[in-house]
Each structure stands twice: as C-alpha cells, then as structure tokens.
Copies of this chain bind each other. A is one copy, B any other.
Amino acid sequence: MRLSRSLVPTLKETPAEAQIASHRLMLRAGLVRQTSAGIYAWLPAGWRVLQNITQIVREEQDASGAQELLMPTIQSAELWRQSGRYDAYGPEMLRIRDRHDREMLYGPTNEEMITDIFRQSVRSYRELPQNLYHIQWKFRDEVRPRFGVMRGREFLMKDAYSFDLDYEGAVISYRKMMLAYMRTFQRLGVKAIPMVADTGPIGGNLSHEFIILAPTGESQVYYDGAFEQIDPTSGDFSFDSPEDLARFYETLTTPYAATDEKHDTAAWANVADKREGRGIEVGHIFYFGTKYSGPMGLTVAGPDGKTLTPHMGSYGIGVSRLVGAIIEASHDDAGIIWPDSVAPWKAAILNLKAGDAACEAICEEAYTRLDGQALYDDREDRAGVKFADADLMGHPWQIVVGPRAAAAGRVELKRRATGERAEVTLSDALARIA
C-alpha cells in the first residue's frame, strides 16, 4: 500500500487511556481504533496482522486433523438452559431479546452449540473421533474493559471441540491440541509454556493454559529452564502416533511451570534451572468428559449396538488477544518489533526525498517487486517522521531510499529487530528480505 492514500493513522502522542505497552503501540501505530468501550475496529495494518495470525492458527489446526466450520455469533438461550449454564453464566454474557421477544445471546463460547450440531448429525462410533473448530468473534461483557484488545468485549477466538469414544481417545485429542498449540506459538515467533490451570466455567478435570513469556506480561511465572530446549516442530512428534503424543505431553508437562496463582514453593525448591519472568495467557485447553454430552443427550451407537456418550474437550486460542501479547513480547522504546510471520508488511519503503527522480524510480521498483508485501511511505513528510513511523510500526525490514545512495543505485537496508544497517543494491536488499 501507498501510505499517502491509506488509512494508517499513526499518532505521535501516547493516548492517555492506554495503560500498557501493547495498547499504546496499537493505537499509536494505527492498528486499531476503539469504537465503544472494549470494542475495536481493526484498521488495515491491524487487520493484516490479525489475518496472518488467524492463518497460522488455521494451518496448525488443520495439520492436527481438526475440521474448520463456522458457528454464528448469536445463539438461542434455550441451548444454554439444556446445559444449565444460562443462569450460571452471570452478567458477562450479553443477553438479547429479538423482535419476537425470544431470548438470545452473543456467544462467549460454543460448547452447547457444537454439541447440539454433533448430536443432530452423528450416529455411529465409526464417525469418531472428530475435532471441529471455528475462528469467530465472541462477546464477553466485561464490567471494566481495559488493556486494549487484551481484555476487550468483542474478541476473536479460535475454539475447537473434540469428540471421542472414551477417555483414552480424549486424552489423545487433548495431546494433539497441545502439540498443535506449541507449533502455532512457535510459528508466531513467541515462546509459550503450558501450565496446569483451573477449569473455571468450562468445567472438567484436566486443563492447561498457554502462557507467552513477555517482559510486561500480566502474571509472574516460574518455570524450569528445560522448556528452552523443547522444539515442537521437530520431526520427532507425529499427530498420527499416540506414542509420540504421549512422549511430547510428558516432555511438556514434567518440568516445573506455574503462574503465581498456582506457584508451589516446595516443588520450586527442587528445580535445578530456575527461571522467572512475566507471562500472558493466550490459550486454554480443557478435557471435560461428558459434562455437555451427558445432559444434552449426545450419544452414538457403539460397536456392540449399545449407546455411548462421547467424551469431549475444548481448546481455545485468543486470536485478537495474541496481537497484543506478541507486541508485549516484542517491542522497544521506539515501537513494535513484529516477528516476520505476523508483520502486516515484510518491509517499509522510505522515500526520503519525494520528487527526486532517482529516489522515486528505486522506490517504485521496490514497491512493484515486493508485490503487495511492502508499505510504501510516499508521503510528503520529513525523513525523521518516516524513520519514526517505520520503527513505531515495526516492519521487519526498512528499505531507506535517500538521494545520494539512490543516484548510485543503492539503498539502505535496516533490520528492525537488531538495528543493523547496510548499504546495498536493491536486488540484494530484496534477496535478503525474501
């Protein structure tokens, strides 16, 4: 995109309402604008980041064998009465009456709906296991929304739901999701650690949350240095092998890791390689057996003709929250430092002298050759403004085009993460970016 004709409204001033780094930087870099308390519009740059994250989440869910579908945002209260959660859920549920005075709600999660769809469609044990996910907007009517997209009211979540014939099958599904999650977070350029968690309103008796390490995170975390050595993308772990999954699960759940809520000082004393830091929850997985399938009457015919009640789990990733969490994990005083995989554009092209023929020729060539992967700062503005905005927006690469170097057919290539700069030909710059 050409910045002069784009809706990328960067701000010099720090908005007063933003208390944490990611909120400040998302507003200043023109990623989002608040439209009501805790509700955000994703402007073009922010939307590109959100789509990049969504696509990585999707690919790793698909790789695990999960099927994507899409459930609607508006649900009937009736379904939630069947599970007993309608009255239990409290004021965070956005309750709605339609024109016929029917009780509806904006879904905060989808255990009831997916169980209903599954019980209408699936009859036989032969059709299990299945894992179904969607990436859909949810609403949680927070009493005091804050921290930008980290604790907003309308938020994007990936939620998956597994159906297995028995506990043993459900454990395999649970472990598959743990592997998919670790691969997802690794591709997103952040370090995540699973920690045993409370099950909260979802229920069940096995649960882990995934905590991203970030210096400005919301929770204090304690973990074993062994986590630094685990590579979930190594070929050692296959989704098709229950043995691999068991080994992966053991690798990830044996070393000590806890948030301050669950911190066990006695166990901590025995950890050889103690690490402490701050963390942000970005995912949460649950096994809850027949908590929904039981009361909602989901059964399938078993091999012997008897009916079975499937065992279920659910698996969430806070997709819009991840945008904030990644920024908390990766920024400096000048702005965001996007991991390459999620950056809105791979590179910014900074024309330091609009109107200079050599500068414009190189910029246009770079823009064409980067084919949609560059933001071209073609504004009639001072170089200092362009440098500051490029650092603020956090493009992994900056192609800086000044008149002197341009006349010699060269550009300055800057790597945002390290600050490294080099004067090179445009072709060399593009080769490094690709």
Interface residues in chain A, defined as those with a beta carbon under 8 Å from any beta carbon in chain B: 1, 4-7, 9, 30, 33, 35-37, 39-44, 46-47, 50, 62, 67-76, 79, 91-92, 94, 96, 98-99, 102, 104, 106, 113, 116-118, 120-122, 126-130, 132, 134, 137, 139, 141, 143, 153-154, 372, 380
Contact = CB atoms under 8 A, between A and B. Distances in A.
A67 B39 contact: no
Contacts of A7: 67, 69, 117-118, 121-122, 130, 132
Contacts of A68: 44, 47
A229 B336 CA distance: 52
Interface of chain A, helix or strand or loop or mixed?
mixed
B50 A70 contact: yes
Given A7-B122, A72-B154, 4 more contacts: A40-B72, A50-B70, A74-B94, A74-B106
B42 A69 contact: yes
Contacts of A132: 7, 44
In the A-B complex, list the 9 residue pairs whose CB atoms are closest, starting with the nearest. Answer: A9-B121, A42-B70, A36-B76, A41-B71, A44-B67, A91-B99, A72-B154, A99-B141, A39-B72
Given A74-B139, A380-B126, A104 B36 contact: yes
A410 B118 CA distance: 37
A205 to B, nearest CB: 26
Given A69-B7, A69-B41, A91-B99, A120 B33 contact: yes
B47 A70 contact: yes
Contacts of A106: 74, 96
Nearest to A91: B99
A154 B70 CA distance: 12
A293 to B, nearest CB: 15
B137 A41 contact: no
Contacts of A75: 35-36
Contacts of A154: 72-74
Contact of A74 (B4, B39, B116, B128): B39
Stoichiometry, as copies per complex, reads: 2
A44 B61 CA distance: 13
A341 to B, nearest CB: 19
Nearest to A152: B72
Contact of A4 (B72, B121, B126): B126
20 contacts: A4-B126, A6-B130, A9-B121, A33-B120, A35-B75, A36-B72, A36-B74, A36-B75, A36-B102, A37-B102, A41-B113, A41-B117, A44-B67, A47-B70, A50-B70, A72-B137, A94-B96, A96-B106, A98-B141, A126-B380
A308 to B, nearest CB: 16
A162 B113 CA distance: 38
A67 B6 contact: yes
Contact of A35 (B43, B102, B117): B117
A5 B240 CA distance: 14
B69 A44 contact: yes
Nearest to A41: B71
Contacts of A116: 35
A35 B122 CA distance: 16
Contacts of A126: 4, 380
A353 B250 CA distance: 41
Contacts of A141: 98-99
A117 B47 contact: no
A15 to B, nearest CB: 12
Contacts of A104: 36
Contact of A143 (B41, B43, B99, B117): B99
A203 to B, nearest CB: 22
Contacts of A5: 127-130
